Chain A
Amino acid sequence: MQLLQYRSQAVAKPYFIAAIGLFVGQILFGIIMGLQYVVGDFLFPAIPFNIARMVHTNLLIVWLLFGFMGAAYYLVPEEAETELHSPLLAQVMFWIFLIAGALTVIGYLAIPYASLAEKTGNNILATMGREFLEQPLPTKLGIVVVALAFLYNIGMTVLKGRKTAITIILLTGLIGLAFFFLFAFYNPSNLVKDKFYWWWVVHLWVEGVWELIMAAILGFVLLKVTGVDREVIEKWLYVIITLALITGLVGTGHHYYWIGAPGYWQWWGGVFSALEPLPFFAMTIFCFNMVNRRRREHPNKAATLWALGTAVMAFLGAGVWGFLHTLAPINYYTHGTQLTAAHGHMAFYGAYVMVVLTIISYAMPRLRGREVNPERAQVLEMWSFWLMTVSMVFITLFLTAAGIVQSWLQRIIPSAQSFMAVQDQLHIFYWLRELAGLVFLVGLTVYIYSFFAQDKPQTVESGEARPVTT
């Protein structure tokens, strides 16, 4: 049986492996930070909190990008019904991106950040030291080079082959991703302008064009596992991404309430971002609808579970937890508290981590030469799904509780207390969060183990030799 319809799809495999490897690093640093919240001097001065956080968030972004690229390399040839334009270019870019990413993390950990900035040309063009955009200039330029080469490769493949709504939406999202990253190079000395356009990278990525990438990946996997008519799936995708961009673009305004921009953003941002749950709600309806209307029972049950889980968790994390504090009168008290952290964790996990794990779950068995994983491997993978997802729900709930108490003690009551005095009273939530984080790590360990799990050899009761059926 031909598992890969096009041989060049195989370039996706190293991208997925690297993604999972960096995911492990991200979680380990998350656990270090979680402990530093309660044991403040843990690993100080070897790994100060700001360094650990930079590694945690940057690894997340980089492994998701690896996941998106792997997804594109896997699904675009199949959708376009043609081999990838240049598998070699994809392989070269993989190594460039991996080495650049590794060097960047080593730089963060081994050299004081100020020296790193000086050594890497930050005095020529200052772009570093802004949240999520901490990468040295050479890394940022590397990201641009990799993104352009990747877009060229995918774009040429789409152009020479069949153009489906899935590939068009994916490509639109990826072009948007590359375009908005260019604002990472704009860093005026005016902090207000700096912050205003910083969001053009951060918000317009995760609440804008990434949703297109996510919809395309989900649409592709559902098309494969449910066998539902392409017309139906692609119509849904257009509805979802329409809702995403109509609400998300002007919804950027919910970040402009308190950073110096005019007060009218409280209305524009509030109204439009209050509608941002809609695309995620549509995604949930879409996923369950497609699975209910399935025309085949696909043997990859784990992939279907991940797809449904993505829809639900993205709606909860990005939709509901975003809505909780998006209106200006509420955000006035919760802005920049642990509630923001709660939303950030569940939204990133529910939307983007899970969609990448969905495509990996579907594609990886095929890339490894089998249609689906053995039964036992699938069971373990589904266990890891529940361990990671439930522990992320608890991380979110504990941080939400911490955020509410923090807002109350620090900002609402008349005798408001100082930041650190309040933090000392939140330890119980932070300990519980750390515990949930450790369960997440267990889930991740099970996940990785599932890749190596084999079915137990059948006990040969009849005493007959059985032919090997693989």
Chain B
Amino acid sequence: MSAFFTKSMARNIFYGGTLFSVLLFLALTLHTTWALPKRDHRENLTEQVARGKHLWETRNCIGCHTLLGEGAYFAPELGNVYPRRGAEFIKIWIKAQPTHVPGRRQMPQFNFSDQQLDDLVAFLKWTSEINTENWPPNIQG
């Protein structure tokens, strides 16, 4: 870089550019906040869904699964597991773990009560109804 471009010019561009980017990002965030209620259907976000999310977190499900594509890549995507498998299958599956099939990936047994299983399913159902711009591409997640 030649002499006409000085350090103080570079510094001023940094401050100006950063300020501009922060404001742009905040403006977009503001618009998103305003647009979200129609996309996340928060009118359906019941106490039960909130309890389900709490169970999801305190069992560290994200340590193996992805949820809307985020998490670990060791076990199936669960953002659309509700339409893929249905409520009954999900509950039976969780209760049947671990499979103890030699050499297969194992999921721990969490000893959920029936109500906790319903809470978890409610959370997964609510999640599957988020407008995700048609992601994932198909039912396999």
A interface residues (Cβ-Cβ under 8 A, vs B): 33, 36-37, 39-41, 44-45, 48-51, 53-54, 113-114, 117-118, 122, 126, 128-131, 134, 165, 187, 189-196, 231-232, 234-236, 238-239, 241-242, 245-246, 249-250, 252-253, 255-266, 268, 332-333, 335-338, 340-341, 410-412, 416-420, 423
**B83 at interface by CB-CB < 8 Å:** no
- Within 8 Å by CB of B14, from A242, A253, A264, A268, lies A242
Q: Check B35–A262 contact: CB distance below 8 A.
A: yes
Query: Which residue of chain A has the shortest Cβ distance to B76 in the bound complex?
Result: A419
Known: A50-B72, A190-B45, A252-B25. 5 other contacts (CB 8 A): A49-B63, A165-B11, A257-B135, A260-B39, A423-B105
A interface, by DSSP: helix, strand, loop or mixed? helix
Closest chain-A Cβ to B139's Cβ sits at a distance in Å of 8
Q: How far is the CA of A39 from the CA of B74 in the complex (A)?
A: 12
Residues 1-47 of B contacting A (Cβ, < 8 Å): 1, 5-7, 10-11, 13-14, 17-18, 20-22, 24-25, 28-29, 31-32, 35-36, 39-40, 42, 45
**B60 at interface by CB-CB < 8 Å:** yes
Q: Check A53–B63 contact: CB distance below 8 A.
A: yes
Q: Please list 27 pairs of residues, one from A and one from B, whose beta carbons are closer than 8 Å in the complex, sorted by A's number.
A: A33-B74, A44-B106, A45-B108, A49-B63, A49-B75, A51-B60, A126-B54, A129-B62, A131-B62, A189-B54, A191-B53, A191-B130, A192-B36, A195-B68, A235-B5, A238-B7, A242-B13, A249-B18, A249-B22, A256-B32, A258-B133, A260-B132, A336-B71, A337-B73, A340-B73, A419-B140, A420-B105
Q: Check B106–A250 contact: CB distance below 8 A.
A: no
Q: Which A residues lie within 8 Å of B40 (CB)?
A: 190-193, 260
Q: Check B105–A40 contact: CB distance below 8 A.
A: yes
Q: Which A residues lie within 8 Å of B126 (CB)?
A: 191
Given the contacts A53-B63, A242-B14, A419-B76, A266 and B56 also touching, CB distance less than 8 Å:
no
B interface residues (Cβ-Cβ under 8 A, vs A): 1, 5-7, 10-11, 13-14, 17-18, 20-22, 24-25, 28-29, 31-32, 35-36, 39-40, 42, 45, 49-50, 53-54, 56-64, 66-77, 98, 100-106, 108, 110, 126-127, 130-133, 135-141
Q: Which B residues lie within 8 Å of A264 (CB)?
A: 28
Q: How far is the CA of A469 from the CA of B79 in the complex (A)?
A: 67
Q: Which A residues lie within 8 Å of B50 (CB)?
A: 189
Closest chain-A Cβ to B3's Cβ sits at a distance in Å of 10
Q: Check B103–A40 contact: CB distance below 8 A.
A: yes
Q: Check B10–A190 contact: CB distance below 8 A.
A: no
In the complex, which of the residues A193, A194, A258, A333 has the most CB atoms of chain B within 10 Å of its own CB atom? A258
Q: Check B105–A235 contact: CB distance below 8 A.
A: no
Q: Which B residues lie within 8 Å of A258 (CB)?
A: 68-69, 132-133, 135-136
- Within 8 Å by CB of A129, from B56, B70, B108, lies B56
Query: Which residue of chain A has the shortest Cβ distance to B26 in the bound complex?
Result: A249
Q: Which B residues lie within 8 Å of A134 (CB)?
A: 60, 63
Closest chain-B Cβ to A117's Cβ sits at a distance in Å of 4
Q: Which A residues lie within 8 Å of B101 (CB)?
A: 41
- Within 8 Å by CB of B135, from A126, A234, A332, A410, lies A332
In the complex, which of the residues B28, B71, B73, B137 has the most CB atoms of chain A within 10 Å of its own CB atom? B73
Query: Which residue of chain B has the shortest Cβ distance to A424 in the bound complex?
Result: B104
Q: How far is the CA of A207 from the CA of B89 in the complex (A)?
A: 40
- Within 8 Å by CB of B7, from A117, A195, A235, A265, lies A235
Q: Check A189–B106 contact: CB distance below 8 A.
A: no
Q: Check A261–B36 contact: CB distance below 8 A.
A: yes
Report the number of A-B residue pairs with Cβ-Cβ less than 8 Å: 222
Q: Which B residues lie within 8 Å of A195 (CB)?
A: 68, 70
Q: Which A residues lie within 8 Å of B62 (CB)?
A: 50, 129-131
Q: Check A246–B63 contact: CB distance below 8 A.
A: no
Query: Which residue of chain B has the shortest Cβ distance to A261 in the bound complex?
Result: B32
Q: Check B63–A192 contact: CB distance below 8 A.
A: no
- Within 8 Å by CB of B64, from A50, A165, A231, A262, lies A50
Q: How far is the CA of A147 from the CA of B120 in the complex (A)?
A: 36
Q: How far is the CA of A416 from the CA of B76 in the complex (A)?
A: 14
Closest chain-A Cβ to B128's Cβ sits at a distance in Å of 11
Q: Check A246–B18 contact: CB distance below 8 A.
A: yes
In the complex, which of the residues B56, B105, B106, B141 has the most CB atoms of chain A within 10 Å of its own CB atom? B105
In the complex, which of the residues A126, A239, A262, A332 has the most CB atoms of chain B within 10 Å of its own CB atom? A262
Q: Check B72–A260 contact: CB distance below 8 A.
A: no
Query: Which residue of chain B has the shortest Cβ distance to A333 in the bound complex?
Result: B137
Nearest 9 pairs of A and B residues by beta carbon:
A50-B63, A129-B57, A336-B69, A40-B105, A258-B135, A238-B10, A189-B50, A419-B76, A335-B69
Q: Which B residues lie within 8 Å of A256 (CB)?
A: 32
Q: Which A residues lie within 8 Å of B73 (CB)?
A: 336-338, 340-341
Query: Which residue of chain B has the shortest Cβ distance to A117 in the bound complex?
Result: B58
Query: Which residue of chain B has the shortest Cβ distance to A189 in the bound complex?
Result: B50
Q: How far is the CA of A430 from the CA of B137 in the complex (A)?
A: 25
Query: Which residue of chain A has the shortest Cβ distance to B46 in the bound complex?
Result: A189
